[in-house]
Structure 1
Amino acid sequence: MSKAQINKPVLLVDGSSYLFRAFHALPPLVTSKGQPTGAIKGVINMTRRLQSDYPESKIIMIFDAKGKTFRHDLYDQYKANRPPMPEDLRGQIEPIHEIIKAMGLPLLIVPDVEADDVIGTLAAQASDKGIDTIISTGDKDMAQLVTPHVTLMNTMTDTFMDQQGVKEKFGVAPEQIIDYLALVGDTVDNIPGVPKCGPKTAVKWLTQFGTLKGVMDNADEVKGKIGENLRNSLELLPLSYELATIHTDVALDQNLDEIEHDHINNERLLELFKEYEFKTWVAQLEQTGTTSAPTAQSAQSTTSVEELPESTINAEYETILTQTAFDHWLEILSNAEIFAFDTETTSLNYMEAQIVGVSFCVEAGKAAYVPLAHDYMGAPEQLDRESILAALKPILEDEQKHKVGQNLKYDMNVLANHGIRLRGIAEDTMLESYVVNSVSTRHDMDSLAKKYLNHNTIHFEDIAGKGAKQLTFNAIDIEKAAPYAAEDADITLRLHQKLSVELDQIPSIQPVYRDIELPLIPVIADIERDGALVDAHLLGCQSKELEEKLVALEREAFDLAGEEFNLSSPKQLQTIFFEKLELPIIKKTPKGQPSTAEPVLQELALDYPLPKVILQYRSLSKLKSTYTDKLPLQINPATGRIHTSYHQAVTATGRLSSSDPNLQNIPIRTEEGRRVRQAFVAPEGYKLVAADYSQIELRIMAHLSQDEGLLNAFSQGLDVHKATAAEVFGVATDEVTTDQRRSAKAINFGLIYGMSAFGLARQIKVDRKTAQGYIDRYFERYPGVLGYMDRIRKQAHDDEYVETLFGRRLYLPEINANNKMRQQAAERTAINAPMQGTAADIIKKAMINVSQWLAESSFDARMIMQVHDELVLEVREDQVEEVTVGLLERMESAASLDVPLLVEAGVGNNWDEAH
């Protein structure tokens, strides 16, 4: 999951909770044939409400599976007191599931575990990525899942419960809820608990003793009959605790990142709504083609999608199979003021892709597709590809012939495979949408067509199929391929017409689009095509060394265990750890087995040698499989280089991301990880030059806040972390210790990312009160920073967006949310986003400047990577010094701040040496 999704909470819906609450809350509705429908209507109504309130969020529906779960294996009396499900309700479950599927929502039903455990697992996965989660449920047990990133929502009462809400409702913190439930017990689920121990008693004990273990350890101190009940329950309390614990490590077929919404099946929905006699929904679907409830209009749009009439796009698409027809279109293109252009290819890999056909559109509704290389059996004769591309080349390379496309960087690279340099890029609809609002929608054509044109495009899967049997474009029947390809060009032109209006309404963002994002397209395309040289032999040697280390660790593990076993087998680890070595059981799996998950191993590794060895083994094994084994396979055989893909329209703040491989995620914190960078090498006769902005976000903070202390520190070239340490710890600058500087660095960076006293305390290993004291002293010494934070919070609440120095808007849809936790998260984003976004804008401007300078110079040098705040160049050895001087000059002049931009450069035979 990307950063663009961070402000869009994931919604996890406790479908089983919805089911029972809807059944009991609504009157017993039935169809004319006697089919009960009250629960169906209630569940779907609540689900539609969620879609309306959270139109950009991933909504996942989770229901209990039939049959027993692992908790029944732990305790055969679990839920024994529950009456059987009413038949009227049982018959409504499958219809609910069918409607949810037709609505395109993910539906999870996992055997052997409860819906709670699936929800807990997905919430944990989201939290690990810093993504906020809302759990829609009425189940009190879910309170144990509440964290700074996880909130409960009761749809029926329209209330939210964050950490403070849990404390107010139950009298204990979320991390004490399991202890609370274990003590109180549950007569419905038949969790034993302590007889006669009610909520007040449980709160009293937990307040006094802290945890269930503390209560059990001090049971003798509890007087009277309740104390006797407690002591008599000590044997069953661990079981009660286990039964009440929601597991967060369930093995799922798909992780959160892989779970996606499907397309709405309106035909099936109409059938179901008619079958269950939901007349209002039938009428709505027949009239508008949508089941969605109206939503609030987006931050940047004057008309919401739901207000648009059903798409009435009229189009005339032509398939060009004769030279006469092509010549006619060539004349049209030659005289067009602007035209939309798209390629259809054999592959998504831009280095390997070959053109199968091209499409054009010069007027909305009038588009053409020229098939050139469809080669299936029985394919009609087509125009010669090389001749057609040669005829198009002068137009495509003409700077004065304006082109509009969707993600034209890809088309630019594909055309380069055929010897054509695309010029005259006037508009890119993906980037127009991204600059208008980076967080409101996905920026692919299908999503944009639905949002801005209320039009469902032909999807690639519709004509090519899915999965392993999916056809490449050259194998698709031209009769199917032509409407799809021509529609791409038509919709692109229509989208530009809509999005250009959106851009014009916000003049401040025009320079971001015109001066940063559009000029960056050819720059990134060149970096991608140039690629980075990688030493496959060195990676092979590293893989071999890692294999030897893994073998040694394996032997060490065998010695510690006293026998041989499979280090990757959880089952065998369970046997060795908990049966043979009798290590303490810290956590159990959903099936009741002792867990050997990484967090468990990390805790055990503090006291026992074997878990530590297993962790080392796992770390090196992942490094080997992900990097040293895989990177050589990603080397292009024709160029001998790795060619990543950079993405302009993914992150919320404007930063570039990369994939296949992800160069921005190569590990550098361990010695073995840093060695991977050593495999990125310079060719013979060349060096790598790596230039990195120093503390750029802190410098931007100094500029934005106008704090005198920070401005002076940077202007005088001081070590800002050392200067901060002197201020915060009240010592002379030359007396600052290494630990104090490290703590000051954590404060400097932590505060601009919204770190709390609790987070700072954990990072620098002090108590919370001491950490809060450091923060208070920081703001006393740097009052301008505090003033900036207060101003930007207020501005964000008023405008619902913040801006970078260059005008890029960063919308904050949760800034005025009713839920305080989500509002505070948006406030933290409001503080940091202008810094991150400005830093992104600066390095993009630097890339444009450097690219133009190199193109106009006679230097034998090229940019080969952009990673975070760093540019990596490949430079001929005898030109390194001169290129480095020019590189630093252009990077440092990319923006004018009230403090100097400092760039540090290194030179080496490989990336690690140069960094």
Structure 2
Amino acid sequence: MSVRAKPLLVLVDGSSYLYRAYHALPDLRSHTGFPTGAMVGVLNMLRRLEHDYKPDYLACVFDAKGPTFRHELYPDYKSHRPPMPSDLAQQIAPLHEAISALGWPLIVEEGVEADDVIGTLAHHALTAQVEVLISTGDKDMVQLIKPHLSLMNTMTNEKLDEQAAQEKYGIHPSQFIDYLTLIGDSADNVPGVHKVGPKTAQKWISEYGTLNAVMERASEVKGALGERLKEALTWLPQARELLTIRCDVPLRHTLDDLIKSPRQEEVLLAIAKTYDLRQLMREEQLLTATTQASNENPVQHIPATTQDKDYQTILLWQDFEEWFSKINASELTAFDTETTSLDPFQAQLVGMSFAVTPYEAAYLPLQHQGPDRVDQLPLQEVLEKLKIWLESPEKKKVGQNLKFDAHVLANHGVTLRGITHDTLLESYILESHLPHNLESLAKRHLGEDTLSYESITGKGAKAIGFEQVAIDKASYYAAEDADITYRIHQKLITELSATPKLFDVYHDIELPIQTILWEMEREGVLIDANLLLKQSDQLGQQLIDIENQVHQLAGRPFNLNSPKQIQEILFQQLSLPVIKKTPKGDPSTDESVLQELALDYPIAKQLLFYRSLAKLKSTYTDKLPRMVNPHTGRVHTHYAQAVAVTGRLSSSDPNLQNIPIRTAEGRRIREAFIAPPGKLLVSADYSQIELRIMAHLSQDAGLVEAFSQGLDVHRATAAEIFATTPDEVTDEQRRAAKAINFGLIYGMSAFGLAKQINCERSAAQAYMDKYFQRYPGVQRYMSETRESAKKHGFVETVLGRRLWLPDIRQGNPMRRQGAERAAINAPMQGTAADLIKLAMIKVTEDIQRLKLQSRLIMQVHDELILEVPTEEKDTINELLPQAMENVVSLNVPLKVELGWGQNWDAAH
């Protein structure tokens, strides 16, 4: 370990990081909805600085409220800045409290800015032979750099000393204030020389040396720039004074005051609990360690509240029989499995845990292989004895994501039944916008911190499997899971029962769907792997051909997968117009840019085509064959129930819901999803479901009539907007009407519509105005829904599912407007999600009632795909529309379109 030659002072520009953390981090909130993103970002940065630099002296400096001496010099100083967002302003007081409690000296000086405080403290430290590191994201601070003083931007990991600053800006830091004066500072509303940018300023300073010299020789600068420089000569001295960081402001603090104080643990714990800032809690002080592992194995920490809990480890048959009697007699048992893997199709049992009353639970280890391994009850004998309980529908069970546990037991030949409640789904229905993992639920609803999986298995390269965890550690962790699940259920089911509509969505939709999804995942879908491999070869050849064409258009070869090289070709070599820039200021080459350029430039169109084919190849034709189960020839996706806030299902490993269908190449991938011999695939798709839901919700007479009469609603809309008859509507007019019909659901603006249908914005606005004249009920619904969302914080589906909108009262306009758009769309998407789930339940019930062999194998958005024996085709052909079109009664009829084929593409 090296020893520093001089002591080190770290000065943190708190105000700079406060704003940057607020805008950079996602919208983090506590369990009460209090915004915490800026707090988390600043506290993480302080922790990192302290860990990385271990300073002898430190301080965190913030701007004070109110004007400074610069406002007296220049009344317009920072006058254009909007007020601080309320979500940020309310974080300042608790953040200051947390920083002080961490032991950091906190400095807020009235009448001067944080920059001046930092400059002055840095000057005093250098005088005292102390090294200085200023942590900031503000480029103005470059003017302070000198020997033994450097800057560190923890958000970009960039460190600037004299040499690095000279390389970055092309001038010495001592010249930076002159350079800054010439270009001005738009953030502080301090103008420089009009239209003089960094390159010109750097050139002038390099050539003349100082601002004074530039001003003295202004007559030598010719052209328009020279005229602008001459116009600014009287202003530049004042601009320089405004932009110069003062290093001589009177301060109450001396270097001796900048020493860290002891942490105030009780204050930190209170703040951490109030705002869910777990990083503030010192593990060794908040948790009582009961077991110390070797250096290679992770250390387990048991919460100090263990004296209130009775957790047992079942190692003897006598203990097993005692607990078997308990769960057999219990009205409801919390049940959980511990496994060798998080992949439900590969996982093997390591143990099981049970709880039948609060604060009491037991863990039954079965296959632990760790160094402390003791005799455990034999797996097969235990399963034989438990099977009657596990498979009994009458023995009621509650768990956290029991679909996973059902897969694990199925791997051992046991079918889990009696799933009566699931805390994952209870949380999802009550608070879809919040995390649903057990650790978060315990914190949010019980106020307890639980052991994390990683705390006993470790993470990264040193992580061990659960089967290697010492049994005493594993036992506490697993028993706690069962106990916490039991207690969380008691709380959540009470809340659900208080709102009958929500309880019905949970009980009548989500719980039954969980079992159906398990069956679909277990069944899988048959894949023609050879066809995919052949398609992969064909795509590979197409990619080579496109690459050659692009090279010809570019005039030279380059790497089509390199954004940097694409950027050079498009914008430097070919001089294509720059549509937008990256955060670093470089021309962007993202998909939206290429789409716009593709309208006029063939090379951009080919690059888009190349990217789309490359994604198809890597994501599907290359990957899907490797995901085929060798025993079944099928792929088994995972359907997540509790992810999308609208209630929609999501699919992963593989994602079957994102296979593109708008291109021939994308549709061909669906050809590889096949029916076995003697069977067919049928696709049952709700037609224009969200528009029909809009008609129902808005009760607009025109929309209701169009759907009730079975009209082509896009053609009917076009006829109204373009003042013509439905028969005379052109394809282009119908396309525009379709864009409006669907666009309004997603909150599309006139600008967005104009871009989509390639017309003037004024024309698009006129189309939308006519739309609302024809369908006033839609406009009324949208207005009322926004107001209701602002009042309640959520909107509802037709069936009562609540769709929470935490940003609907946001001070940030972008977030608020996004929430307002979501308020319009969410009831449509959410109701569509409810309907497709009800359809899955009804179809499954009918198949079971008729004792058919047909099976539901996929769900993709508003579409169900079934595998049907050929002899059941007529029955299913009649059953599907009848079941799906009558799951609910709306003001307009639901319509289902069927397609049959030997593969998914043929059926769609």
**TM-score normalised over the length of structure 1:** 0.71
How far apart, in 2, do the equivalents of 1:873 and 1:39 lie? Answer: 64
SS of 1:108's equivalent in the other structure is: coil
How far apart, in 2, do the equivalents of 1:16 and 1:318 lie? Answer: 42
CA contact (8 A) 2:398 2:420 kept: yes
Letter in 2 for 1:627: Y
Q: Does residue 392 of the first structure (1) align with residue 439 of the second (2)?
A: no
SS of 2:350's equivalent in the other structure is: strand
Post-superposition CA distance 1:869-897 (Å, at most 9, x none): 11000001121121121011111111111
CA contact (8 A) 1:338 1:403 kept: yes
How far apart, in 2, do the equivalents of 1:634 and 1:829 lie? Answer: 35
Partner residue of 1:830? 823
Residue 13 to residue 768, structure 1, CA distance change in 2 (3 Å): farther
SS of 1:664's equivalent in the other structure is: coil
Residue 598 to residue 699, structure 1, CA distance change in 2 (3 Å): closer
How far apart, in 1, do the equivalents of 2:42 and 2:665 lie? Answer: 47
Partner residue of 2:210? none
**1:547-696 matches, cutoff 5 A:** 547-560=540-553, 564-569=557-562, 609-696=602-689
| Offset, 1:555 | 3.1
CA contact (8 A) 1:396 1:420 kept: yes
Moved more, 820-829 or 778-787: 820-829
SS of 2:435's equivalent in the other structure is: coil
Q: Does residue 401 of the first structure (1) align with residue 401 of the second (2)?
A: no
Q: Does residue 788 of the first structure (1) align with residue 781 of the second (2)?
A: yes
SS of 1:37's equivalent in the other structure is: strand
CA contact (8 A) 2:789 2:795 kept: yes
Partner residue of 2:261? 277
| Offset, 1:109 | 3.0
Q: Does residue 455 of the first structure (1) align with residue 448 of the second (2)?
A: yes
Moved more, 429-438 or 577-586: 577-586
Q: Does residue 777 of the first structure (1) align with residue 760 of the second (2)?
A: no
CA contact (8 A) 1:339 1:404 kept: yes
Partner residue of 1:427? 421
Letter in 2 for 1:717: G
Letter in 2 for 1:373: Q
Letter in 2 for 1:284: V
SS of 2:61's equivalent in the other structure is: helix
Q: Does residue 417 of the first structure (1) align with residue 464 of the second (2)?
A: no
Partner residue of 2:365? 371
CA contact (8 A) 1:429 1:495 kept: yes
Q: Does residue 380 of the first structure (1) align with residue 364 of the second (2)?
A: no
Q: Does residue 841 of the first structure (1) align with residue 834 of the second (2)?
A: yes
**1:302-321 matches, cutoff 5 A:** 314-321=308-315
SS of 1:39's equivalent in the other structure is: strand
Residue 615 to residue 741, structure 1, CA distance change in 2 (3 Å): closer
Letter in 2 for 1:697: E
| Offset, 1:559 | 4.2
How far apart, in 1, do the equivalents of 2:44 and 2:226 lie? Answer: 41
How far apart, in 2, do the equivalents of 1:453 and 1:83 lie? Answer: 47
| Offset, 1:542 | 0.5
Q: Does residue 444 of the first structure (1) align with residue 427 of the second (2)?
A: no
| Offset, 1:789 | 1.7
CA contact (8 A) 2:797 2:830 kept: yes
**TM-score normalised over the length of structure 2:** 0.72
**1:65-80 matches, cutoff 5 A:** none
Partner residue of 1:760? 753
How far apart, in 2, do the equivalents of 1:36 and 1:852 lie? Answer: 68
CA contact (8 A) 2:371 2:470 kept: no
Partner residue of 2:158? 111
Post-superposition CA distance 1:797-818 (Å, at most 9, x none): 2222221111111222232334
Equivalent residue in structure 1 for 2:726, among 726, 729, 733: 733
| Offset, 1:793 | 2.2
How far apart, in 1, do the equivalents of 2:791 and 2:563 lie? Answer: 53
Equivalent residue in structure 2 for 1:360, among 350, 354, 357: 354
How far apart, in 1, do the equivalents of 2:578 and 2:892 lie? Answer: 55
SS of 1:455's equivalent in the other structure is: coil
Post-superposition CA distance 1:272-307 (Å, at most 9, x none): x9972377x544125676474999xxxxxxxxxxxx
Post-superposition CA distance 1:458-484 (Å, at most 9, x none): 111111111233222222221221111
| Offset, 1:547 | 1.0
Partner residue of 1:37? 59
Post-superposition CA distance 1:208-260 (Å, at most 9, x none): xxxxxxxxxxx99x999449879xxxxxxxxxxxxxxxxxxxxxxxxxxxxxx
CA contact (8 A) 1:39 1:92 kept: no
| Offset, 1:551 | 2.0
How far apart, in 2, do the equivalents of 1:454 and 1:637 lie? Answer: 46
How far apart, in 2, do the equivalents of 1:586 and 1:681 lie? Answer: 43
Equivalent residue in structure 2 for 1:807, among 800, 803, 823: 800
> Percent sequence identity over matched residues?
50
| Offset, 1:671 | 1.3
How far apart, in 2, do the equivalents of 1:444 and 1:703 lie? Answer: 35
Partner residue of 1:70? none
How far apart, in 1, do the equivalents of 2:904 and 2:160 lie? Answer: 48
Q: Does residue 816 of the first structure (1) align with residue 838 of the second (2)?
A: no
- Give the RMSD, CA atoms, in angstroms: 4.5
How far apart, in 1, do the equivalents of 2:382 and 2:415 lie? Answer: 15
| Offset, 1:321 | 1.2
Residue 576 to residue 14, structure 1, CA distance change in 2 (3 Å): farther
**1:226-245 matches, cutoff 5 A:** 226=228
How far apart, in 1, do the equivalents of 2:507 and 2:856 lie? Answer: 22
CA contact (8 A) 2:539 2:613 kept: yes
SS of 1:666's equivalent in the other structure is: coil
Partner residue of 2:345? 351
Q: Does residue 539 of the first structure (1) align with residue 539 of the second (2)?
A: no
CA contact (8 A) 1:36 1:88 kept: no
Letter in 1 for 2:642: A
Partner residue of 1:717? 710
| Offset, 1:85 | 8.9
Q: Does residue 86 of the first structure (1) align with residue 122 of the second (2)?
A: yes
Post-superposition CA distance 1:615-670 (Å, at most 9, x none): 43333222211111011111122221111111111111111111111111111121
| Offset, 1:591 | 8.2
| Offset, 1:717 | 0.3
Residue 562 to residue 93, structure 1, CA distance change in 2 (3 Å): closer
CA contact (8 A) 1:530 1:643 kept: yes
| Offset, 1:501 | 2.1
Equivalent residue in structure 2 for 1:704, among 680, 697, 707: 697
Bigger radius of gyration, 1 or 2? 2
| Offset, 1:490 | 0.8
CA contact (8 A) 1:4 1:650 kept: no
CA contact (8 A) 1:357 1:373 kept: yes
| Offset, 1:10 | 10
**1:518-529 matches, cutoff 5 A:** 518-529=511-522
Partner residue of 2:900? 907
Q: How many residues align?
A: 728
Letter in 2 for 1:86: A
